[in-house]
Homo-oligomer: A and B are copies of this chain.
Amino acid sequence: MREAGKRTRGRGTTARPGRPRQAEVARLAGVSQTTVSLVLGKKTGGAAISEETRQKVVGAAESLGYVPDPAARRLAAARNNLLGVFSFTATFPTDVQHSYYPFLVGVEQEAAAQGYDLVLFTGSSPGGTGGGTHALHRARLADGCLILGRHAPTAELCRLVAEGFPVVHLGRRDEPEGPAWVGADYVSASRGVVERLVALGHRRIVLVREDDEAPASTDREQGVREGLEEAGLPVGPEAVFRSADPARELTSDRVREWVADGVTAFVAEETDTSAAWRALNAALAEAGLNCPGDVSLALLGSPPPDAADGPTPAGFDIPRAQLGAAAVRLLAALVAGEQASEPLVACTFRPGDTLAPPRRTSPQPPDPLPGPRVPGRGRNRNTRTEQGEPTQ
């Protein structure tokens, strides 16, 4: 069933039914196939090749237009330089908004850099034809596999992991026996935002967050708390406003009250809906407070795409491409049998247009901070927030 019917391998003849093999090159150069492999593979691995022979081989290969067969190459090398990418929604959904595209930018780049090609496993969304329940098992075709999104069947996934197959999940996971993962360092990033505010002179800062328990939310709150603590500011319940329905509960009255009470800066968490952020902005507008004149604002994440107009909120961006790249690096390390290291990727500080020193207090940079600094709680060396320069 090879090529155009029949069995083509009529060896012995000079016939060249397909593309040339190393054997043909060898014959033409008057050497052995091994020599050809050695010369073209560049690896002198123990053996030495005379310049003369090398030239003969290279010449023969060129004149025949020899190109190695990737399948054979990979088979012989016992690895195929393929990384699987599994998303349990379409990898390229019609709705670009919810796609993994930004991650894939980094995934592709890093994979290329590491010498891997990518296998996109299709049809893993509901109703996929092949595989059925065991869709994930196709991943074994690759040397390792990347999981995007939280929709992978956990049982299957853990099984792959248990069997020693290298798997990296893009996004934090909490299972003890689950796959390796990489995620954004929300804690450090959030702390960094608070540090900025403090450096500008703010002493009363309120975090507005929604009412869920996702790690993404919890981490941000923790970061804010660490930032406050580090500056010796109070971390009591008054520092966090938590609401299941910010649009209703975060009123202009509430905001006025805060401001009257000495609050000079607000920090809102970012979520799918950006409910907290929207509510905060609405309430401020209604209260007649403007930003950054009256109060400073920061958003712990990227602004929603529909809010492209208006000032850019200060805060941080999730470096999606870098996350993708980090995931690939980690996966490549696992494939190579090395140990995984830091799974957190630093976010990028976004200066924005919503920060200013507080109104009434004269900006006393970092000196007269009330309360003691907490020394041991310094930022984590490896994952510290990459803060852009203020002038940037």
Residues of A near any B CB (own CB < 8 A): 1-4, 18-19, 62, 65-72, 74-75, 77-78, 80-82, 90-94, 96, 101, 104-105, 107-109, 111-113, 115-123, 125, 128-130, 134, 137-141, 159-160, 163-165, 321, 337
Q: Given A92-B101, A122-B116, A337-B3: A19 and B138 within 8 A (CB)?
A: no
Q: Are B93 and A113 in contact (CB under 8 A)?
A: no
Q: Bound state CA distance, A164 and B128, in angstroms?
A: 31
Q: Which B residues touch A129, using CB under 8 A?
A: 112-113, 115
Residue of B nearest to A103 (CB): B92
A95's nearest neighbour on chain B, judged by CB, is B105
List 18 A–B pairs whose Cβ atoms lie within 8 Å, in order of A's numbering: A4-B164, A18-B163, A19-B165, A65-B140, A67-B140, A70-B82, A71-B75, A74-B141, A90-B105, A91-B104, A92-B101, A92-B107, A96-B101, A109-B122, A113-B123, A115-B130, A118-B119, A118-B120
Quick check: A120 and B122 within 8 Å, CB to CB? no
Q: How many copies does the complex hold?
A: 2
Contact yes or no, A337 B69, CB < 8 A: no
A122 with B117, Cβ < 8 A, contacts A101-B96, A141-B69 known: yes
Contact of A128 with B140 in the complex, beta carbons under 8 Å: no
- Minimum Cβ distance to chain B for residue A278 (Å): 23
Q: Are B70 and A141 in contact (CB under 8 A)?
A: yes
- Which residue in chain B gives the minimum CB-CB distance to A110? B122
User: Is the Cβ of A112 less than 8 Å from the Cβ of B117?
Assistant: no
- Could you tell me if B90 and A109 are in contact, using CB atoms closer than 8 angstroms? yes
Q: Across the two chains, which residue of chain B brings its CB closest to A64?
A: B163
User: Which residue of chain B lies nearest to A164 when distances are taken between CB atoms in the complex?
Assistant: B3
B4 x A337 contact (CB < 8 A) = yes
Nearest-Cβ distance from residue A372 to partner chain B, whole angstroms? 45
Given contacts A120-B120, A163-B18, contact A92 B108 (CB under 8 A): yes
Known contacts A3-B164, A112-B123; is-contact A65 B19 (Cβ 8 Å): no
Q: How far is the CA of A104 from the CA of B92 in the complex (A)?
A: 7
- B19–A163 contact, CB under 8 A? yes
For A62, give the chain B residue with the smallest CB separation.
B134
Q: Which of B72, B112, B122 interacts with A122 by CB under 8 Å?
A: B112
By the criterion CB–CB under 8 Å, are B138 and A117 in contact? yes
Which residue of the partner chain B has the closest CB to A165? Answer: B19
In the A-B complex, the 10 residue pairs with the closest CB atoms: A112-B123, A112-B122, A71-B74, A67-B140, A118-B120, A71-B75, A92-B105, A70-B141, A92-B104, A67-B137
Complex Cα distance, B4 from A304, in Å, reads 47
- Chain B residue numbers with a CB within 8 Å of A134 are 62, 65, 67
Of the candidates A68, A78, A160, the one having the most CB atoms from chain B within 10 angstroms of its own CB is A78
User: Which residues of chain B are within 8 angstroms of A107 by Cβ–Cβ distance?
Assistant: 92
Which residue from chain B places its CB closest to the CB of A91 in the assembled complex? Answer: B108
Q: Determine whether the beta carbon of B111 is less than 8 Å from that of A122.
A: yes
Candidates B1, B118, B139; contact of A77 at CB < 8 Å = B1
Q: Contact between B108 and A140 (Cβ–Cβ < 8 Å)? A: no
Closest to A121 in B: B117
**What is the CB-to-nearest-CB distance from A186 to chain B, in angstroms, rounded to a whole number?**
24
Cα distance, A119 to B138, chains bound together (Å): 13
CA distance A139 to B140 in the complex (A): 20
Inter-chain contact A118/B113, CB cutoff 8 Å: no
- Which of A91, A117, A118 has its CB near the most chain B CB atoms (within 10 A)? A117
Q: How far is the CA of A122 from the CA of B112 in the complex (A)?
A: 5
CB distance from A340 to the nearest CB of B (A): 15
Shortest beta-carbon distance from A46 to chain B in Å: 11
A166 to chain B, nearest CB (A): 11
The distance from the CB of A319 to the nearest CB of chain B, in whole angstroms, is: 12
